[in-house]
Amino acid sequence: MSYSPVHRSTLKKTRQAMRMRYLTRDPSGPKMRRLDLLLSSETFGKLEEIMDNTNMRRREALVAMIDAYHSRVIAGER
């Protein structure tokens, strides 16, 4: 087997890609997006309230919030 060196420029991320990664990273867990940037402030407030009242982790609280929304849609409330 021969070794072929990889050019350094192919390994370096672009400045924009690194900035997007910084903006979307979450300090509470790996591979989790920062939801405060993706959700409206009202929806994010509801999510934080669910997390505080039920002592759930963020992923569990998000699933519970989505399930509650789907049950409201099926019931015809929204």
Instruction: Please report the pLDDT score of residue 63 as a whole number.
Output: 84
Per-residue pLDDT of 36-62, as tens digits, reads 777 788 888 888 888 888 888 877 888
Instruction: Give the pLDDT score at 6.
Output: 59
CA 33 to chain centre: 2
Tokens of 12: 């370096």
- For residue 78, is pLDDT > 80? no
Please give the average per-residue pLDDT across 15-43, as a whole number.
69
Give the chain's mean pLDDT.
74
pLDDT confidence tier of residue 67, bands split at 50, 70 and 90: confident
69: exposed, middle or buried (Cβ count in 10 Å: 0-12, 13-18, 19+): middle
Domain ranges of the chain: 8-75
CA dist list (Å): 30 to 3, 59, 64, 76: 33, 12, 20, 37
